[in-house]
Amino acid sequence: MTPDTASENPPRAPARRVDRAGVVIAAALAVLAAVLVWDASKLPSTTMYGMGPEAMPVVIAIGLVILAAGNLIDALRGNLPPRESMDPKPVWLIIGGLALLIAIIGFGGGFILATSALFITTSAAFGRRAVLADTAIALVITTLIYLAFDKLLTLSLPAGPLERLL
């Protein structure tokens, strides 16, 4: 007889607690339903027969409210599947990289600078510490992609100061 089989509690006990993230998800679904109804209420009904454009949003909103209730019940019962621990830092690094990319494209910095910024932050998020080396790699790769797709496949990628030199 090994002691651990006897002393182990049924795993149900801790899982019964209210799952706060689940409550937030249910609330978000309810808010989404409210937005749908609010938006649909501003549409003038012009169709003579059948459904106008405002009918389907209301139907989907009703579905979302029911699903919000379903998610809330799961959360209150603690029925959600177990989650592994997570490290938030890399997630924020990548989101920061995406924000940088959007800002550089928005201010006309061009494709190469924008995607290089994303490359460097993502690579750092996955544990690389050699920022200078990665910067060099990022610039080379994105320049090659730019040349291949802009010149060969004639996709139009936004040009900034670096692209004008090519």
Partner 1 sequence: MMDTFAALAHGMAVAMQPMNLLYALIGVFLGTAVGVLPGIGPALTVALLLPVTYKLDPGGSLIMFAGIYYGGMYGGSTTAILINTPGESASMATALEGNKMAKAGRGGPALATSAIGSFVAGTIATIGLAFLAPWLVDFAVRFGPEDYFALMCVAFVTVSATFGDSPVRGLTSLFIGLTLGLVGIDKLTGQARLAFGIPELLDGVEVTTLAVGLFAVGEALYVASRRHHAEEKLEPVRGSLWMTREDWRRSWKPWLRGTLFGFPIGALPAGGAEIPTFLSYSTERRLTKHPEEFGKGAIEGVAGPEAANNASAAGTLVPLLTLGLPTSATAAMMLAGFQQYGLNPGPLLFAERPDLVWGLIASLFIANGMLLVLNLPLVGLWVRLLAIPQPWLYAGILVFATMGTIAAKPSVVELSMLAAFGVMGFLMRRFDFPIAPVVIGLILGPIAESQLRRALAISLGDPMVLLQSPMSATLLGIALIALLAPFVLKGLGRFKANED
Q: Which two tokens stand for residue 56?
A: 């389907």
Is 11 a binding residue for partner 1 by CB under 8 A? The answer is no
Contacts of partner 1 in 117-156 (CB under 8 A): 118-120, 122-128, 134, 137-138, 141-142, 145, 149, 153-156
CA distance 17 to 88: 23
Residue nearer to partner 1 on the CB measure, 14 or 128: 128
CA distance 161 to 8: 65
- Cβ-based neighbours of 159, under 8 Å, separated by 6 or more: 110, 111
Binding marks (x or -) toward partner 1, 17..56, rule CB under 8 A?
Answer: ----xx--x---x--x--xx--xx--xx-xx-xxxxx--x
Residue nearer to partner 1 on the CB measure, 14 or 53: 53
- The length of the chain in residues reads 166
CA distance 157 to 110: 8
Contacts of partner 1 in 97-116 (CB under 8 A): 97-99, 101-102, 105-106, 111, 114-115
Residue nearer to partner 1 on the CB measure, 152 or 165: 152
